[in-house]
Structure 1
Amino acid sequence: MIDAPAPAPSPRIRQSKAALVLASVSLVISLVSCGLAGFVASAADIDLLPVQSEPAEASASQVEAVAHVTLPPGTVFLAAAYSNGLETRLSAKFRIPRTGLDAFVAAGKFTAPLTPGLRAITAKHNVGGGNLWDPDTAVSVSGIEEQQPTTDGTYRSVLFNLDAPDAITVYLHASRG
């Protein structure tokens, strides 16, 4: 028995194979391009899917609204930064009269007690960067660090710098999300 020669592939099969090869090459080129773009973006510290706003300066009313506090009369607002997205983050530094401490704590309805010596705020709580955030320089401090959030899910931490005799420098951090 003599084997008959294999029939020549039809033009449709040849076109299908060519299309499959081109699609495979295209897929490989696309994957390499995406990988290269991701590498360049990560090397240049570019966020390809920004879900958090850049920190921006916050007003006293934003501090009160986000952190659920009331700034007492005589408050000197020093700095505040706010960022929103998947998380809401706020840091604020202000000075209140020493006589306003009890009213500030009571109006804030904190879920944790004011604790002498507690350093509830550190440099990592600084949302906006900058050189005005210096909680580590305080010698005599008290703090509040909530373990239970407010009704809208906001966690708050506060450091009171008690070094000055007539005023208290307050470092406040609030986050939600």
Structure 2
Amino acid sequence: MASDKELSDFLQSVETRAFKRSVYHVRDEEAALDIVQDSMMRLAEHYGDRPADEWPMLFQRILSNCTLDWFRRQKTRKALFTNMSDFEPAGDDGDFDLLEALAVDDDSHRTESAEATTSRGEILREIEAEIQELPLRQREAFLMRYWEEMDVAETAAAMGCSEGSVKTHCSRAVRALATALKAKGIKL
């Protein structure tokens, strides 16, 4: 049985990535923080006594479910209160830039020209914008597979779907991103 310290260490290790993933989905930092906190509490309350090696998959599934619950609540609120503006995407005035956080931080980036740095930043912003335009399930599969570096089976378990569905979602996401970026003249 895992100790409270092990659970605390695990939650601390996934906190930042879970928050970034949630912000990517809901486009609202406060809502993302609530979703991550709720997910962590659910894991601790309901699965804290499970073996530590089960926590990563359980947490991913809980995080996905909490995110879907948030979208359902927003849809209900929108239906009840049509004047709400909660559905507008958050602006770029947030402190974090997901794709910049994913960019490789090595010496080659420190010595590149200002023009190259600016160009790379623009490309990353375009990619981020296109990822946000993906349908929810495609975006979820794409982020789990390529950002969380989960394998197909882990992603399928976390999303509650078949491995074939994960492959289809990822394939469609990659194709949509490639098409959108090509249309904008971006070559990777």
What TM-score bracket applies, with the shorter chain setting the length?
A: under 0.3
TM-score, normalization by structure 2: 0.22
**Is the radius of gyration larger for structure 1 or structure 2?**
1
More helix by share: 2
TM-score, normalization by structure 1: 0.23
